[in-house]
């Protein structure tokens, strides 16, 4: 049995006969819908999404648990031709998952040609003996003919897969078929994560990533790759923690401080916006979504700093957890 990447200790309960569990890696070019599919399969948001390519930088695990199965879904950075040390590390993270999981899923788009990037990834996938599924995503924006032609091209140009599944990660169309395929390849195994857990990432990481997602929605084309966000708990006793909280708002509240890092002073101005509008609006949008996900009130303090060439400095990437 393939155990996958090291999980937290398995649930000590006696495993029910026939309970199936395992790890699934989703790989593909940037912006093919891996994060959207993980969120769709889990049933809630665990990975940020954006129309900007190369949004995902770290490996995010989403967990789907039912009475008779558990799937641990690895959302990986899009594999691309790197231009920075950050890009190289993102590629390494994605490729490293191929030999560590029970099933590898490669995603391609239903309405885009099969290109060199798809073939490069398929070659990497083809080198492992792990069961493989080719997912043709975004069928909701493709015609029936386009979908059929893409399935034919994929089977002819990308090598042998155990299954070819057309889906829409956005609408959920075809996801039930994909789930059946995934579970069919899962071995009998333990409950790797306790029931109710939907992701392995700490709350502070989700806070940072959601703020980055909201900034990507308003940032210029050249800016997204230059943004890094970190977050930390804001101590209840910190005098700054009381800012913006009235006596009427004395209920328990989750407090965080998020720092947005950019590479140049000009980018700092873009992130802040005129009169602070950009960072304020992004922070408000992130806070509202966090409150929905956490089921509690959230206080989010933000700051913007310049960290020159952080994408190209190993020390900076290590410090940022990238």
Q: What is the pLDDT of residues 70-128, one digit of tens each?
A: 999 988 765 645 555 655 665 666 666 777 899 999 999 999 989 988 998 898 888 88
Average pLDDT of the residues in 130-143: 96
Cα-based distances in Å from 189 to 3, 12, 293 = 9, 12, 29
Q: What is the pLDDT of residue 282?
A: 92
Q: According to CATH, where is 3.30.300.20 located in the chain?
A: 203-319
Measured N-to-C along each axis, helices 203-216 and 277-294 cross at an angle, to the nearest 10 degrees, of 140
* % of the chain beyond a pLDDT of 90: 44
Averaged pLDDT for residues 137-157: 94
- At 312 the pLDDT is 65
Q: How do residues 184-217 score in pLDDT, each as one tens digit?
A: 999 999 999 999 999 888 888 889 888 988 888 8
Kindly state the tokens that stand for 45. 């948001």
Indicate the pLDDT class of residue 234, thresholds 50, 70 and 90.
Answer: confident
What is the pLDDT, as a whole number, of residue 173? 97
Confidence of residue 322 (pLDDT cuts 50, 70, 90): low
Mean pLDDT, residues 178-184 taken together: 96
Q: Is the pLDDT of residue 242 over 50?
A: no
Q: How confident is the model at residue 267 (pLDDT cuts 50, 70, 90)?
A: confident
Q: Diameter of the chain by CA atoms? A: 66
**CA distance linking residue 309 with residue 140, whole number of Å:** 39
Long-range contact set of residues 169-175: C-beta below 8 Å, sequence gap at least 24: 169/33, 169/36, 169/37, 169/40, 169/137, 169/138, 170/33, 170/36, 170/40, 170/138, 170/140, 171/140, 172/40, 173/139, 173/140, 174/139, 175/37, 175/40, 175/41
> Does 159 have pLDDT greater than 50?
yes
Gap between the Cα atoms of 11 and 14, Å rounded: 8
One-letter-per-residue 3-state SS of the chain: CCCCCCCCCCCCCCCCCCCEEEEEEEEECCCCCHHHHHHHHHCCCCCCCCCCCCCCCCCEEEEEEECCEEEEEEECCCCCCCCCHHHHHHHHHHHHHHHCCCEEEEEEECCCCCCHHHHHHHHHHHCCCCCEEEEEECHHHCCHHHHHHHHHHHHHHCCCCCEEEECCCCCCCCHHHHHHHHHHCCCECCCCCCCCCCECCCHHHHHHHHHHHHHHCCCCCCCHHHCEEEEEECCCCCHHHHCCCCHHHCCCEEEEEEEEEECCHHHHHHHHCHHHHHHHHHHHHHHHHHHHHHCCEEEEEEEEEECCCHHHCHHHHHHCCC
- pLDDT for 248 equals 46
> What whole-number distance in Å separates Cα of residue 141 and Cα of residue 62?
25
Q: Which pair of structure tokens corresponds to residue 219?
A: 């940032």
The reported pLDDT for the residue numbered 235 is 72
Numbered ranges of CATH 3.40.50.300 in the chain: 20-184
Q: Indicate the pTM of the whole model.
A: 0.73
* Confidence category of residue 176, pLDDT binned at 50, 70, 90: very high
- Bigger pLDDT: 171 vs 7: 171
CATH fold label, 203-319: GMP Synthetase; Chain A, domain 3 (3.30.300)
| pLDDT of amino acid 58 | 56
User: Which of 24, 61, 37 is CA-nearest to residue 170?
Assistant: 37
Task: Say what the pLDDT of residue 88 is.
Answer: 63
> What integer pLDDT is reported at residue 95 of this predicted model?
64
Facing residues of 93 across strands? none
- At 84 the pLDDT is 59
Question: Class for domain 20-184, per CATH?
Answer: alpha beta
Mean pLDDT for the chain overall: 81
Q: Is the pLDDT of residue 237 over 90?
A: no
| pLDDT given for residue 246 in this prediction | 44
> In terms of pLDDT, which residue wins out, 230 or 235?
230
pLDDT value at residue 245: 44
Q: Which residue has the higher pLDDT, 200 or 175?
A: 175
31 vs 103, which has greater pLDDT?
A: 103
């Amino acid at each position: 049995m393939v155990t996958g990447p090291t999980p937290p200790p398995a649930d000590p309960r006696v495993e029910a006969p026939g309970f199936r569990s395992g790890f699934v890696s989703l790989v593909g070019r940037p912006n093919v819908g891996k994060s959207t599919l993980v969120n769709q399969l889990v049933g809630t948001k665990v990975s940020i999404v954006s129309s900007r390519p190369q949004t995902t930088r770290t490996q995010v695990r989403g967990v789907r648990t039912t009475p008779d199965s558990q799937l641990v879904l690895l959302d990986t950075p899009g594999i691309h031709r790197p231009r920075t040390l950050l890009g190289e590390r993102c590629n390494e993270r994605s490729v490293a998952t191929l030999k560590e999981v029970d099933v590898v899923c490669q995603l391609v788009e239903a309405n885009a040609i099969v290109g060199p990037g798809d073939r490069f990834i398929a070659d990497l996938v083809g080198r492992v003996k792990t069961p493989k599924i080719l997912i043709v995503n975004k069928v909701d924006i493709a015609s029936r003919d386009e979908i059929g032609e893409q399935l034919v091209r994929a089977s002819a140009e990308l090598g042998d897969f155990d299954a070819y599944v057309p889906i829409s990660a956005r609408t959920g169309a075809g996801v039930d078929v994909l789930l059946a395929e995934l579970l069919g390849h899962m071995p009998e195994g333990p409950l790797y994560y306790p029931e109710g857990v939907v992701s392995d990432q700490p709350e502070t990481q989700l806070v940072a990533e959601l703020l980055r997602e909201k900034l990507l929605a308003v940032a210029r084309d050249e800016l997204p790759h230059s943004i890094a966000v970190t977050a930390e708990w804001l101590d209840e006793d910190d005098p700054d923690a009381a800012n913006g909280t009235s006596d009427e708002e004395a209920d328990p509240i989750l407090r965080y401080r998020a720092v947005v890092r950019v590479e140049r002073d000009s980018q700092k101005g873009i992130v802040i916006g005129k009169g602070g509008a950009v960072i304020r609006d992004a922070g408000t949008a992130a806070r509202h979504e966090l409150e929905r996900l956490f089921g509690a009130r959230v206080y989010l303090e933000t700051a913007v700093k310049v960290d020159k060439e952080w994408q190209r400095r190993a020390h900076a990437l290590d410090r940022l957890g990238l």
